[in-house]
Chains A and B, each alone.
Chain A
Amino acid sequence: MKNQTLSKLLDGDLSPDELERTLDRVLADPELQQSWHAQYTLRSVVQDDGIHTYCNIVENVATIIAEEPTLIAPDNLSPKRTDASVPVGNVVSILSKRSKVLALTAIAASFAAIVMVSYSPKKAINSTIANTAGTMSTSLAAEQELQAMIVQHGEFSGAAALNGLVAYAKVVNGSTVSDAR
Chain B
Amino acid sequence: MTVKHHFKVRFGFIFSVLLIVTAASAGAKDDDGMMLLGNMSSAANKLDYSGEFVYVKDGKISSMKVAHIGATADSSSQQKLMALDGSMREIIQQDDIVACVLPDQGMGLRETRQAKALFKLDVADKLDSIALHYTVRHQGKTRVANRDCELVNVMPRDTYRYGYRLCADSENQLLLSSELLGQDGNVLESYQFVSVKFDKVEASEISSRTPPKTLNWMDDRAGNSNKETTSADEEIKWRITENPAGFELEHYINRMSPVIQVNVTHLVLGDGLAQVSVFISPLDASASQSETSLSMGSLNSFTRKINEFMITVVGEVPEETVMLIAEHTEAY
Contacts and interface: CB of A to CB of B under 8 A. Distances in A.
A34 interface: no
Interface residues of B, number: 86
A56 interface: no
B113 A109 contact: yes
A4 B293 contact: yes
Interface stretch (A37-45, A57-65, A70-78, A145-153): A145-153
A148 B272 CA distance: 24
Interface residues of A, number: 65
Contact of A146 (B93, B166, B273, B301): B301
B257 to A, nearest CB: 6
A51 interface: no
Contact of B274 (A15, A158, A177): A158
A104 interface: yes
Given A18-B290, A150-B299, A104 B273 contact: no
A156 B291 CA distance: 25
B287 interface: yes
Contacts of B250: 156
A114 B260 contact: no
A85 interface: no
A110 interface: yes
A180 to B, nearest CB: 6
Given A123-B296, A145-B259, A150-B314, A117 B57 contact: yes
B52 interface: no
Contact of A152 (B62, B64, B277, B296): B277
B117 interface: yes
Given A124-B295, A156-B250, A164 B118 contact: yes
A14 B270 CA distance: 31
A155 interface: yes
Most buried by B among A125, A150, A157, A174: A157
Contact of A161 (B122, B164, B258): B122
A107 B301 contact: no
B47 interface: no
A170 B294 CA distance: 19
A56 B297 CA distance: 31
B75 interface: no
18 contacts: A103-B258, A105-B220, A109-B111, A109-B113, A111-B79, A117-B62, A123-B58, A141-B259, A146-B294, A149-B277, A149-B312, A149-B314, A156-B251, A158-B272, A158-B273, A162-B180, A165-B191, A172-B107
Interface of B: 53, 55, 57-58, 60, 62, 64, 79, 81, 83, 86, 89, 91, 93, 98, 100, 102, 105-107, 109, 111-123, 164, 166, 175, 178, 180, 189-191, 216-218, 220, 223, 250-251, 255, 257-260, 266, 268, 270, 272-275, 277, 279, 281, 284, 286-299, 301, 312, 314-316, 319, 323
